[in-house]
Amino acid sequence: MSRLLILLTLMCGLTTAASAVELLLSHSAQRAPALPLDGQQVDGEIYVFVDAQADIASVDFSLDGRPLQTEEFPPWDLAGTDDDGNAFAFDTLSLEDGRHSIAATVNLHNGDSIPLHADVLVANEDAQLLVSDTVVFFNTFSEEPVQEEILISESNGAAHPIELDYYADWLVIDTEQDTTPDILTFEVDPSGLAPGLYDAEVYVTAQGYDPVVIEVSLAVGAN
């Protein structure tokens, strides 16, 4: 079907139901099947477009707050439309893995505009569980507790519950929210410990990931 025929067909079927305007995602150049874009995890080539029952004059697309392009004819495709009416693909490999924002301003013939917004999670590479440090060392001559903070996150920006596994009476680890990203507070209590070096391994796990091991060492000096 030619682009001109699509244009004529859509113009004949338009209504003023602005509430139907939304950003949609498809993995096909024919735009079907399609799902609401917001909240989707995406990779590779995708087809993003505005599907609406409204009298649209143009659509301004932006990515992460930066203008991307303006479509002045339907179909209203994020990456533009081919002469045969198929959508051009948007390659998510052009983006870093993580969360991104896609927005569209739908401009109507009556002068009104409708703002649309969708957040997506780009995950092209194998995601990893990340910690800001894999070695934590404490050195103290006091019996007062000492703390250190470690940041834990996922390389693709996703969020999952985390679990901690360790065995050391002198070590306590607190979390802020128990899901990634999170801050782990390591607190060691040297009271009652004889001078010497104490070691522990902390296993941090989240769904779908191999455990990350954090080595904790506590050097207790003589008072």
Task: CATH number of the domain at 87, please.
Answer: 2.60.40.10
User: Are 98 and 168 within one domain?
Assistant: no
**Residue predicted with more confidence, 223 or 30:** 30
Q: Is residue 16 assigned to a domain?
A: no
Q: Is residue 96 assigned to a domain?
A: yes
Q: What is the reported pLDDT for 52?
A: 72
Its domain, for residue 205, covers: 129-220
User: Are 50 and 81 within one domain?
Assistant: yes
CB 10 within 8 A of CB 57: no
Q: DSSP 3-state assignment of 43?
A: coil
User: Are 97 and 143 within one domain?
Assistant: no
User: Are 179 and 196 within one domain?
Assistant: yes
Domain count, the chain: 2
Q: Is residue 38 assigned to a domain?
A: yes
User: Are 146 and 93 within one domain?
Assistant: no
Q: Which of these three, 87, 122, 157, is where a domain ends?
A: 122
User: Are 108 and 161 within one domain?
Assistant: no
Predicted confidence band at 3 (pLDDT cuts at 50, 70, 90)?
A: low
**Residue predicted with more confidence, 159 or 138:** 138
The stretch 118-143 carries a mean pLDDT of 90
Q: How many CB atoms lie within 10 A of CB 5?
A: 10
Q: Is residue 1 assigned to a domain?
A: no
85-100 confidence digits (pLDDT tens)? 999 999 998 998 889 9
Ramachandran angles phi, psi of 4, nearest 5°: -65, -40
Q: Is residue 136 assigned to a domain?
A: yes
Query: How far is residue 35's CA from residue 33's CA, in Å, rounded to a whole number?
Result: 7
User: Are 106 and 147 within one domain?
Assistant: no
Q: Is residue 113 assigned to a domain?
A: yes
CB 98 within 8 A of CB 92: no
Q: Which of 9-23, 78-92, 96-110, 182-196 has the weakest average pLDDT? A: 9-23
Q: Is residue 13 assigned to a domain?
A: no
Q: What is the mean pLDDT of the chain?
A: 88
User: Are 133 and 80 within one domain?
Assistant: no
Q: Is residue 6 assigned to a domain?
A: no
Predicted confidence band at 16 (pLDDT cuts at 50, 70, 90)?
A: very low
Q: What is the reported pLDDT for 160?
A: 84
Q: What is the reported pLDDT for 19?
A: 53
User: Are 181 and 215 within one domain?
Assistant: yes
Q: Which of these three, 60, 94, 122, is where a domain ends?
A: 122
Q: Which of these three, 122, 155, 183, is where a domain ends?
A: 122
Q: How many CB atoms lie within 10 A of CB 133?
A: 13
What percentage of the chain carries pLDDT values higher than 70?
A: 90
Check pLDDT > 80 for residue 115: yes
Check pLDDT > 90 for residue 50: yes
User: Are 40 and 102 within one domain?
Assistant: yes
195-222 confidence digits (pLDDT tens)? 999 999 999 998 778 899 999 999 999 7
User: Are 145 and 181 within one domain?
Assistant: yes
User: Are 74 and 38 within one domain?
Assistant: yes
Q: What is the reported pLDDT for 134?
A: 95
